[in-house]
């Protein structure tokens, strides 16, 4: 019996290296999300990544979910100094005082922002409410930040958010599907480009 050889699908090059990275790329990265908790999670994790590899953060994601109450903004906003000290001893997350404190501050800022409009609606307004579909041929073509991520960064900082630089926010926009930054020959590019808002 002759067995057909199944070629693996083309993927964005950054997804190589581990089954966890492949699964994240294939099943999550770039899929439009309008879920507040998921967006808060991505805001936290992308901020935590500053200076580190994404694979490190991805390995610690379950630790972050446990440590930060499943990214429930109301619960995290109630964290105090004792929680910061507890989290500094938690090996399941990046033990960086500034990054831990910023997550708590960001939860509080998110609740204030929510009084004006839903957080997801606010974030998506920076791309006109629908995913931007790019057509990058190579990973090297992807920008580290955009006008939209710079505008979002400025406004979030004005509202009291921290660890929200334009590069961090562009990574969030990519992860949450505000932009489709899969390269055009990646097997995920076409389905996400056709999915629309």
User: Is 14 a known active-site residue?
Assistant: no
The angle, 0 to 180 degrees and rounded to 10, between the axes of the packed helices 36-49 and 166-175 is: 130
| Contacts with 80 (C-beta within 8 Å, 6 or more apart), sequence order | none
| Contacts with 20 (C-beta within 8 Å, 6 or more apart), sequence order | 55, 58, 59
User: Is 122 a known active-site residue?
Assistant: no
Cβ neighbours of 169 (radius 10 Å): 29
Helix (H) or strand (E) holding 179: strand 179-180
User: Is 54 a known active-site residue?
Assistant: yes
Q: In whole angstroms, give the CA distance from residue 123 to residue 118.
A: 9
Of the residues 14, 28, 54, 145, only one is catalytic, namely 54
Of the residues 41, 46, 124, 170, only one is catalytic, namely 46
- Residues serving a catalytic function are 24, 46, 54
């Amino acid at each position: 019996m002759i067995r057909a050889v199944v070629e693996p699908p083309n993927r964005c090059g950054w997804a190589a290296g581990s089954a966890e990275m492949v699964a994240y790329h294939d099943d999550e990265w770039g899929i439009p999300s309008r879920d507040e908790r998921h967006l808060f999670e991505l805001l936290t994790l992308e901020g935590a990544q500053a200076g580190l590899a994404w694979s490190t953060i991805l390995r610690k994601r379950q630790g972050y979910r446990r440590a930060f109450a499943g990214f429930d903004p109301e619960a995290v906003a109630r964290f105090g100094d004792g929680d910061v000290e507890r989290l500094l001893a938690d090996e399941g997350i990046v033990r960086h005082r500034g990054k831990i404190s910023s997550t708590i501050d960001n939860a509080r800022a998110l609740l204030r922002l929510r009084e004006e409009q839903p957080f997801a609606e606010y974030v998506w307004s920076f791309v006109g409410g629908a995913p931007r579909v790019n057509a990058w041929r190579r990973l090297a073509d992807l920008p580290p930040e955009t006008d939209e991520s710079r505008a979002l960064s400025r406004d979030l900082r004005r509202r009291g958010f921290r660890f929200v630089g334009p590069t961090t926010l562009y990574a969030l926009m990519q992860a949450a599907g505000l932009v489709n930054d899969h390269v055009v020959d990646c097997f995920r590019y076409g389905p996400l480009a056709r999915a629309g808002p």
